[in-house]
A = this chain, B = another copy of it.
Amino acid sequence: MSALSSVTAQLTGTLGPDRVITDRQRLRTYECDGLAQYKVVPGLVVLARDADDVRTTVRACAEHQVPFVARGSGTGLSGGALPQAEGVLVVMSQMRQIREIDIENQRAVVDPGVINLQLTGATSPDGYYFAPDPSSQSVCSIGGNVAENSGGAHCLKYGFTTNHVTGLDLVTPAGELVEIGGTAPDPPGYDLLGALVGSEGTLGVVTSVTVRLTRLPQEVRTILAGFRSIDDAGAATSAIIAAGVVPAAIEMMDALAIEAAEAAVHCGYPDGAGAVLVIELDGHAADVAGEFDEVMHHCQDNGAFETRVAADDVERALIWKGRKSAFAAVGRISPDYIVQDGVIPRTALPTVLRQIADLGAEHGVRVANVFHAGDGNLHPLVLFDDSEEGAVERAEEVAGGILDLCITNGGSITGEHGVGSDKAKYMPRMFTEDDLDTMQAVRCAFDPDHVSNPGKVFPTPRLCGERPGRQQGAHPLQEAGVAEVF
């Protein structure tokens, strides 16, 4: 009997057959997440109802050394929830209850399967919301947001998921349920919350999330500004930030992205724009008014030839429609595309965008740029036609080259989509072996047997060494270097 068969038999017995999927056809539903280029049919799916189910499942896996992968709504874009053929996929989407809303202390406790916008829906009647806003927020789960440390257009002002999580319940890879953090700020001991948020499922399975709620702004003002060039739009962005204004969002789109959006949703962006900025201000009415004057001034000062201000929610929605539909809209001008995700220091924007254009030209590949300009988080869309010989390879080369540009310009290989299955191979371009070993030492502390979402994040998982230190000067990280698990 294989290890997986033992786990299957054990879990079917303890959880009951309706919690456990073994039918090949049904298993296929879970073969990928939002990054469809990688597909693996899981060996077994468990539909967890509560933390006990998760603990039971993880314990069975630990006992038989069977890998497990947790999955929320499956909207991730780096293949972080890609299953294992000989492993268990723990589906968290049925754990979808909001456990507690404490408006006075601005906290909520939710199951990991709770949908991002579901929490905002439940708290907005009281004037609060959950700030992280990935574009998948109407379907993605908060557990998934925690795993990937999700961001969104409004992260410039409000930060990433990690800035909004104050506590987690976690089933460790050994099957222990521990509480990390809580509702109080700055608890004593190591701040493991930070390490867990964004750990992409490699340190265990989160079964409860305590989040900070944010006050809904009194006023929101949305500005659309058309510029002749990316350089002008970049200069305006820098001027706004340098003035000390922190807009809720500053989004940029280049000419090709604008063309795609116009073709798809007729958003009516300024004619002849080489770039547009969508700038959103929010907060107290008086604050917004003051910031608005500054933003308009810096846009005009840096060559904005047209600016529009949304007069109401309908006009605001139209401005955002162009931006939000841009990814899908690119389908109108290209049969296939890769969504890349990288970060650069904001001030390197003009340089990197020129380098991206050069790189595309060199390979005969078109690249549309849609990005969070305020914090330098790029989302280049690399266009290709799969029916053309060698097109996908060229596109992948350009997509990879863009990450190299991000690194050499002082940035990083992912802004908010995560490393997952997709970018593990790029990690050594960014980190030294010592750096990666230090991270993996932490992984070994939680998951010495590499059963928790193995194969993600790290390109070469390392054997978690023998107890070191008795030999003088030796260190687990150095010792581990001699052997690779896979």
Q: Which A residues have a C-beta under 8 Å from some C-beta of B?
A: 59, 62-65, 104-106, 127, 149, 151, 160, 162, 172, 174-180, 182-195, 197-199, 203, 215, 217-218, 238, 241-242, 244-245, 283-287, 289-291, 343-347, 375-377, 410-416, 418-419, 423, 427, 430-432, 434-436, 438-439, 441-446, 448-449, 457-458, 464-469, 472-473, 475-478
Nearest CB in chain B: distance from A270 CB, A:
28
| Cβ–Cβ < 8 Å partners of A178 in chain B | 432, 434-435, 438
Instruction: Name the residue in A59, A180, A185, A290 with the highest tally of chain B Cβ atoms < 10 Å from its Cβ.
Output: A185
Please tell me if the beta carbons of A375 and B476 are within 8 angstroms of each other in the complex: no
Please tell me if the beta carbons of A186 and B416 are within 8 angstroms of each other in the complex: yes
Please tell me if the beta carbons of B284 and A284 are within 8 angstroms of each other in the complex: no
| Cβ–Cβ < 8 Å partners of A151 in chain B | 186
C-alpha gap A15/B52 in the complex (Å): 56
Please tell me if the beta carbons of A412 and B188 are within 8 angstroms of each other in the complex: yes
Given A192-B439, A441-B446, A442-B442, A184 and B475 touching (CB < 8 A)? no
Q: Which residue from B64, B189, B436 sits with its C-beta under 8 Å from A457?
A: B189
C-alpha gap A290/B287 in the complex (Å): 7
Please tell me if the beta carbons of B63 and A189 are within 8 angstroms of each other in the complex: no
| Cβ contacts A to B, 9 pairs, < 8 Å | A184-B343, A186-B414, A188-B412, A188-B414, A190-B442, A191-B197, A284-B287, A286-B289, A286-B291
Nearest CB in chain B: distance from A82 CB, A:
17
C-alpha gap A419/B291 in the complex (Å): 42
Please tell me if the beta carbons of B188 and A457 are within 8 angstroms of each other in the complex: yes
- Which residue from chain B places its CB closest to the CB of A204 in the assembled complex? B438
C-alpha gap A65/B442 in the complex (Å): 22
| Cβ–Cβ < 8 Å partners of A458 in chain B | 189
Nearest CB in chain B: distance from A50 CB, A:
18
Please tell me if the beta carbons of A412 and B182 are within 8 angstroms of each other in the complex: yes
C-alpha gap A172/B432 in the complex (Å): 14
Nearest CB in chain B: distance from A394 CB, A:
25
Given A179-B435, A448-B476, A415 and B192 touching (CB < 8 A)? no
- Which residue from chain B places its CB closest to the CB of A215 in the assembled complex? B244
- Which residue from chain B places its CB closest to the CB of A194 in the assembled complex? B194
- Which residue from chain B places its CB closest to the CB of A62 in the assembled complex? B473
Please tell me if the beta carbons of B192 and A438 are within 8 angstroms of each other in the complex: yes
| Cβ–Cβ < 8 Å partners of A284 in chain B | 244-245, 287, 290-291
Please tell me if the beta carbons of B189 and A419 are within 8 angstroms of each other in the complex: yes
| Cβ–Cβ < 8 Å partners of A203 in chain B | 190
Given A287-B283, A412-B182, A445 and B188 touching (CB < 8 A)? no
- Which residue from chain B places its CB closest to the CB of A417 in the assembled complex? B188
C-alpha gap A283/B284 in the complex (Å): 12
Instruction: Name the residue in A104, A241, A244, A415 with the highest tally of chain B Cβ atoms < 10 Å from its Cβ.
Output: A244
- Which residue from chain B places its CB closest to the CB of A59 in the assembled complex? B473
| Cβ–Cβ < 8 Å partners of A245 in chain B | 284
Please tell me if the beta carbons of A347 and B104 are within 8 angstroms of each other in the complex: yes
| Cβ–Cβ < 8 Å partners of A473 in chain B | 59, 62-63, 174-175
8 nearest interchain CB pairs?
A194-B194, A286-B290, A174-B475, A287-B287, A215-B244, A441-B445, A445-B445, A449-B469
C-alpha gap A475/B61 in the complex (Å): 13
- Which residue from chain B places its CB closest to the CB of A294 in the assembled complex? B284
Nearest CB in chain B: distance from A446 CB, A:
7
Given A178-B438, A287-B284, A343 and B185 touching (CB < 8 A)? yes
Please tell me if the beta carbons of A183 and B439 are within 8 angstroms of each other in the complex: no
C-alpha gap A410/B186 in the complex (Å): 13
Nearest CB in chain B: distance from A197 CB, A:
7
Instruction: Name the residue in A238, A347, A439 with the highest tally of chain B Cβ atoms < 10 Å from its Cβ.
Output: A439
C-alpha gap A443/B183 in the complex (Å): 24
Given A284-B290, A289-B286, A467-B465, A195 and B191 touching (CB < 8 A)? yes
C-alpha gap A468/B412 in the complex (Å): 35
Instruction: Name the residue in A149, A376, A446, A472 with the highest tally of chain B Cβ atoms < 10 Å from its Cβ.
Output: A446
| Cβ–Cβ < 8 Å partners of A436 in chain B | 189
| Cβ–Cβ < 8 Å partners of A376 in chain B | 184-185
Nearest CB in chain B: distance from A198 CB, A:
6
Given A287-B287, A457-B188, A465-B467, A477 and B176 touching (CB < 8 A)? yes
C-alpha gap A464/B469 in the complex (Å): 10
- Which residue from chain B places its CB closest to the CB of A347 in the assembled complex? B104
Please tell me if the beta carbons of B431 and A185 are within 8 angstroms of each other in the complex: no
Q: Which residue from B172, B290, B432, B444 sits with its C-beta under 8 Å from A179?
A: B432
